[in-house]
Amino acid sequence: MGLQSSLSREDAWKLFLSYNSDPFHIQHALTVEGVMRWFARELGFAEEADFWATVGLLHDIDFEKYPQEHCVKARELLAEAGAGEELIHAVCCHGWGQTGAKEKPEHLMEKLMFAADELTGLIWAVAIIRPSKSVMDLELKSAKKKFKTLSFAAGCDREVIEKGAAELGWELDKLIEQTILAMRSCEEEINAFMAAFRQENA
């Protein structure tokens, strides 16, 4: 059966919301969840899609409240919630080399999580300055141009993205192009959810 999530989607979502309330963080978590689910299906791991998606949803569980302990505090929070070691390791290792996390990405899914997390932020930053404010008409060329402009979305670590591509054995262009497609797969649903979320919490 491959990797199976030790938390249901409902439980994972409740757990995430118990530590996160910022709409920016919520939208990012939902985006990475959708991106990871797409990658699982595209790369032949459909039976593991729930696991991949759960890792994406929970990857920044500790960032809003415990930024100085990012990817370290997560281990404690997830363990308390009954998450299995495979899920905990997959979440924590996305901070490899950037935070106090010592776990290194090993599984293909973990390498994708490491690479795509930072990249989704950059792609989203490119998308929202376009007239459409969407990834639906965003092409590789535009994203690559902004990737090379270091002053743009300066908080997005290009070295991490490049390191992630290298860990995967992918060309950078392939990683960017595939991540754009993955973000297209969930953009409409996430936008609708976030519009309702903001209205409810206004």
Q: What is the pLDDT of residues 59-113, one digit of tens each?
A: 999 999 999 999 999 999 999 999 999 999 999 999 887 766 678 899 999 999 9
pLDDT of residue 6: 79
What pLDDT band is residue 5 in, cutting at 50, 70 and 90?
Answer: confident
Total-model pTM: 0.95
What pLDDT band is residue 44 in, cutting at 50, 70 and 90?
Answer: very high
Q: For residues 109-130, give the mean pLDDT.
A: 95
Q: In the predicted model, is pLDDT for residue 178 greater than 90? A: yes
What sign results for the dihedral spanned by CA atoms 147, 91, 193, 180?
positive
How long a stretch of residues is the chain?
A: 202
Q: In the predicted model, is pLDDT for residue 131 greater than 70? A: yes
The percent of residues in the chain predicted with pLDDT above 70, rounded, is 97
pLDDT of residue 20: 97
What pLDDT band is residue 34 in, cutting at 50, 70 and 90?
Answer: very high
pLDDT of residue 188: 97
Query: How does DSSP assign 91-138, residue by residue?
Result: HHGGGTTTSS--PPP-SHHHHHHHHHHHHHHHHHHHHHTSTT-SSTT-
Ramachandran region of residue 156, left (φ > 0), alpha (ψ -120 to 50) or beta? beta
What sign results for the dihedral spanned by CA atoms 156, 41, 190, 95?
negative
Q: In the predicted model, is pLDDT for residue 155 greater than 80? A: yes
- On average, the pLDDT of the chain sits at 94
Q: For residues 149-158, give the mean pLDDT.
A: 94
